[in-house]
């Protein structure tokens, strides 16, 4: 069991869809506000061992991001069990968890603590993160003064420099200009080359997936339809997107 770093057991995530924001707000006070239910994931089970690299395939809306969000704790399952064992670094929603009133530097400590990293270790990493972000003097300004590109840079700099045991990458990620993107890709490569780092990778680019992953999971309409070696998974995915 201790070799298992991520385990989903019959995980279902139901989103409640309201007619509009007003109805959504009203639902806080009343159970009678009507809504529709959307199963973003439907009874999904899988297990990932330490050091594995797994690609997650599926059309838009298949439930991939929802799975990643539940692993990182941004979203909670409506049913089933999730176990995550190890320091997670998620290259998605890079700026979630920032406090706009705090400076960039203060947010490094805030996000570090939220990720369960001891203060002394964050202090050691601080210089590396600040250098990586390349946002100059802005690091000591409140994050509310940042452009979206600067926020993404800082978010990325934190996430790739905290020595993650589990790396989660959503290809939909945007990090701004090409030069910074290349630097990020280099860093991701460096992380996954380390022994015992586990990678979960969402992509539509099957060639890239094959380059990094031996195993693939295919999602369709919230259901896990195949969990297999990468070649079979790509074959299945290609049939689905056709
Ligand atoms: N916050 C949300 N509120 C309501 N529905 C959502 C929310 N997030 C995702 N969904 C719905 O759940 C389904 C799965 O979405 P998602 O996990 O983002 O798919 P993917 O990443 O594979 O494109 C979609 O139908 C999507 O519209
Ligand atoms: Mg997505």
For residue 225, the surrounding DSSP H or E stretch is: strand 223-229
pLDDT for position 116: 83
- 15 in contact with ligand 1, CB cutoff 6 A: yes
Same structural domain, 107 and 77: no
pTM to 2 decimals?
0.85
From 36, 60, 63, mutation site for ligand 1 pocket: most ligand atoms within 8 A of C-beta: 63
User: Among residues 113, 145, 162, which one ends one of the domains?
Assistant: 162
pLDDT for position 195: 75
Catalogue the E-assigned strands of 119-207. 166-170, 198-202
C-alpha distances in Å from residue 212, one per residue of 55, 90, 194, 208, 236:
8, 17, 13, 7, 18
Mean pLDDT in residue range 58-69? 94
Between CA 86 and CA 50 the distance in angstroms is 9
> What domain range is 40 assigned to?
1-27+36-86+165-242
From 41, 59, 61, mutation site for ligand 1 pocket: most ligand atoms within 8 A of C-beta: 61
User: Among residues 136, 162, 188, which one ends one of the domains?
Assistant: 162
**CATH, residue 231:** 3.40.50.300
Q: How many CB atoms lie within 10 A of CB 161?
A: 21
What distance in angstroms lies between residue 23's CA and the mean position of ligand 1's atoms? 19
User: Among residues 138, 162, 186, which one ends one of the domains?
Assistant: 162
pLDDT digits (tens, 9 = 90+) for 21-31: 999 999 989 98
pLDDT band at 163 (very low <50, low <70, confident <90, very high): confident
Q: In what order do the strands lie in the sheet with 79-84?
A: 36-49, 4-17, 79-84
What is the number of the ligand 1 atom nearest to the C-alpha of 67? 17
What is the number of the ligand 1 atom nearest to the C-alpha of 222? 14
Domain count for the chain, please give it. 2
């Amino acid at each position: 069991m201790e070799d298992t770093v991520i385990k989903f057991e019959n995980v279902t995530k139901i989103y409640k869809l309201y007619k509009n924001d007003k109805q959504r707000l009203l639902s806080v006070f009343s159970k009678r506000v009507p809504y529709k239910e959307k199963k973003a994931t439907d009874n999904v089970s899988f297990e990932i061992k330490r050091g594995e690299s797994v690609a997650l395939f599926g059309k838009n809306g298949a439930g991939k991001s929802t799975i990643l969000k539940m692993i990182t704790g941004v979203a909670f399952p409506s049913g089933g069990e999730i176990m995550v064992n190890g320091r997670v670094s998620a290259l998605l929603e890079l700026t979630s968890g920032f406090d706009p009133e705090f400076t960039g530097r203060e947010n490094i400590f805030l996000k570090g603590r939220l990720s369960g990293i001891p203060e002394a270790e964050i202090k050691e990493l601080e210089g590396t993160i600040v250098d990586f972000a390349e946002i100059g003097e802005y690091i000591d300004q409140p994050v509310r003064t940042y452009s979206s590109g600067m926020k993404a840079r800082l978010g990325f700099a934190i996430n790739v420099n905290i020595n993650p045991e589990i790396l989660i990458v959503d290809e939909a990620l945007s990090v701004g200009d090409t030069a910074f993107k290349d630097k990020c890709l280099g860093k991701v490569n460096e992380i996954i080359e380390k022994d015992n780092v586990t990678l979960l990778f969402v992509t539509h680019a099957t060639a890239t997936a094959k380059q990094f992953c031996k195993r693939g999971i295919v999602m369709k309409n919230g259901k896990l339809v195949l969990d297999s070696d990468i070649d079979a998974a790509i074959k299945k995915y290609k049939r689905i997107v056709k």
